[in-house]
Amino acid sequence: MSDSPFDSLKKTRPVASRRRAGLRQILMLGLAMGCGVLVANNPFRPSSENPDATARGYLRFKEILSYVDRDYADSVDTEGLADYAVTQMLEKLDPHSVYIPARDRQKTDAFLQSDYDGVGIEFNVFRDTVTVVAPLSGGPAEQAGVQPGDQILSIGGKRVSGARLSTARLSELLRGPRGSSLTLELRRRHLAQPLRLSVARSRIANSSIDAAYLVDDQTGYIKVSRFASNTYDEFKAALVDLRRQGLTRLVLDLRGNPGGYLDRATRLADEFIGGSRKIVYTDGKGEQYDSQTYAKVAGEFEEGALVVLVDEGSASAAEVVAGALQDHDRAILVGRRTFGKGLVQQPIALSDGGELRLTIARYYTPAGRSIQKPYGANYAEYSADVANRAARGELQSADSVHFAKELRFRTDHGRTVYGGGGIMPDVFVPRDSVAHSAYYTKLLAHGVPRAFALSFYQGHKAELEGLRFEQFNATFRISDAQLASLTAQAAQDGVKADGATVRRCAPLLRNLLKAYIARSAYGLVPYYTVLREQDAELQSALHAVSDSSAQLALLGK
């Protein structure tokens, strides 16, 4: 087989086309533990029900901490001990009440913000080398001349190449006050000397809509990564734009969405739910935290086929949306059982600059389902729930998922649904075992595929710029020789595998490499377009949204 994927394109008339888009942050499932459903910050009013016991507990802790600080044999970090004690105390309450120290507030809050001050660079780290995946389209880095494939040697005079800095630390170096200047030292292919570029930081959009495009003339796809401050406005704009292009059916992707602001989630759900039907309600201690939220606006897409993709990483506010749409038989849910977080946190600002996110209520779907999965005193076991699901076979077979019969509820059209442990989709799709195999996940963790794709892009930049994406997508293939080169590069980095393992991963690897190359050459929508080919869950969703008779049967209509 030819080593060049361009052999079949030599007779194709080149048409220059380049599209780039902005920074994307990889969201981990663990964010569900710290993000969750958040409500607006109301003034804190301490309970007067048991003031004496509270006072005794406070004095006991103060006395013990004073003795430890004054008389313990060694010097101690009393603030660290206090933080530890608070953390342990909150874990005894539930898994989602948390204390956030002042030093971590900014990082935690940034996840739910829709913009930040920085230079606008998406990067990859491979063998301690920071490589630009893509600068934000129209952002300060692109305007200064930063290109995909550039290797960053230093940031603001601080050496980063070979420095073994974390991704979080690198992001910190790139961010800073708006208007401030930052010098980047870059190594670029075919240039003998490093480049030094001055970049002026500016406000960078941190969109929670990862992708929004038409799959075909009628079918739209929107991926929502979290429910941040501007999520609803971004979603509404994307939906209106797709409707203008001809959208009549939609796939809403909430996989891996760990939650966020409750009101943004309910406003998004209101776009699909007509009339004044209930979306969610909360029940807390007394009545001050009880609430009921109903649909109240004429939504943009209250009619038309709707499929929602969910998985074990869909949590909290994402479950509010999925649960409401399922209870009202408005959407078909495709994927796997969701995370199972049904607790509402109240952010409470503390005098030391820290923040307490205290569980003040449970939320329930319109049918009355509590989505919160069981929890007890064992925080570690709760945290390992998804891994335990995999061990029990839940991620491979719907028959392995069991719900308590007493937690049975009915949708508007009489379909049976269950509470007490996440939301079970209407169409189960097993998790791709290859994508979660040890070898494949190690490749991704070491950044090998992305580094390989960036190197390929740099070496074939002129050829790629001479093609439209449609030409590239129809004819580009990763050859056997290139795949062998990738695995050899991975082995040098300590990720070794036998021939059988590589052959098993080959289709997924070829598609991923092609998607990464498309990302650098053409932008985010082409990236997602390529990924779609090997996405079994999305393919199932697209089939469900286009099969009208199956929709009616699944929704009990």
Q: At residue 460, what is the residue type? A: H
What are the distances in angstroms from CA 373 to CA 313, 398, 399, 428?
14, 17, 18, 19
What phi and psi values does residue 28 have, to the nearest 5 degrees? -100, 155
What are the distances in angstroms from CA 422 to CA 73, 338, 374, 412, 417?
49, 5, 10, 19, 11
Would you say 345 and 359 are in contact if contact means Cβ atoms under 8 Å apart?
yes
Q: How many whole angstroms from its chain centre is CA 496? A: 29
What are the distances in angstroms from CA 413 to CA 327, 328, 371, 553?
9, 8, 20, 11
What are the distances in angstroms from CA 42 to CA 173, 266, 288, 323, 513?
34, 19, 11, 26, 48
Look-up: residue for tokens 């699909």? 272
Q: Tell me which DSSP letter residue 114 carries.
A: S
The candidate with the shortest Cα–Cα distance to 152, out of 139, 136, 171, 137, is 171
CB contact set of 93 (below 8 Å; sequence gap of 6+):
359
* Alpha carbon distance 325, 238 (integer Å): 20
Question: Which tokens in the block code for residue 320?
Answer: 């509010």
Q: At residue 547, what is the residue type? A: D
Q: Does an H or E element contain 356, and which?
A: strand 355-364
Q: How many residues would you count in the chain?
A: 557
Helix then strand then coil, % of the chain, to nearest 5: 40, 20, 40
The candidate with the shortest Cα–Cα distance to 210, out of 540, 528, 539, 537, is 528
Residues noted as catalytic = 316, 327, 341
Look-up: residue for tokens 């939220």? 293
Question: Which tokens in the block code for residue 299?
Answer: 């939504």
Would you say 19 and 137 are in contact if contact means Cβ atoms under 8 Å apart?
yes
Q: Tell me which DSSP letter residue 496 carries.
A: -
Would you say 199 and 141 are in contact if contact means Cβ atoms under 8 Å apart?
yes
